Amino acid sequence: MKIRRWAKFYVYIVECQDGTYYTGYTNDLAERIKLHNKGYGAKYLRGKGPVNLVYAKEYHYYKNVLHAERKLKGLRRSQKDALIRAYEKNNNRI
């Protein structure tokens, strides 16, 4: 019998203080943002903090989050901006 392992993985985009975006994945989103803001986790973000989470999506399978990260990293800036606007619109509903 094969056992399915369920876990939560997140692909995310943070906006740096200089206005650039960084895309990554994690299994603990809140902790990863704290690490980024302390200057740990990604060389790209060192000296660019604090960062602000602008997009996140949850996945239950590790491979799916890796594919999503690769797709997001391949988007143009304008495409990321549109994705972030849609995310903000959907998450600010009352």
**CB–CB of 13/21 below 8 Å?**
yes
Which pair of tokens denotes residue 58? 């949850």
Cα–Cα distance measured from residue 81 to residue 89, given in angstroms and rounded to the nearest whole number: 12
**CB–CB of 32/13 below 8 Å?**
no
Q: What is the CATH number of the domain that holds 63?
A: 3.40.1440.10
Q: Which pLDDT does position 1 carry in this prediction?
A: 45
DSSP summary character for residue 68: H
Which pair of tokens denotes residue 26? 């994690």
Residues spanned by the domain of 87: 12-91
Q: Which pLDDT does position 5 carry in this prediction?
A: 57
Residue 41 lies in a domain: yes
Residue 82 lies in a domain: yes
Which pair of tokens denotes residue 1? 């019998």
**Structural domain count of the chain:** 1
Q: Which pLDDT does position 93 carry in this prediction?
A: 54
Give the tens place of pLDDT for each residue, 4-43: 456 899 999 999 999 999 999 999 999 999 999 988 878 8
Which residue from 26, 49, 46, 48 is spatially nearest to 37, judged by alpha carbons?
Answer: 49
Q: Which pLDDT does position 62 carry in this prediction?
A: 87
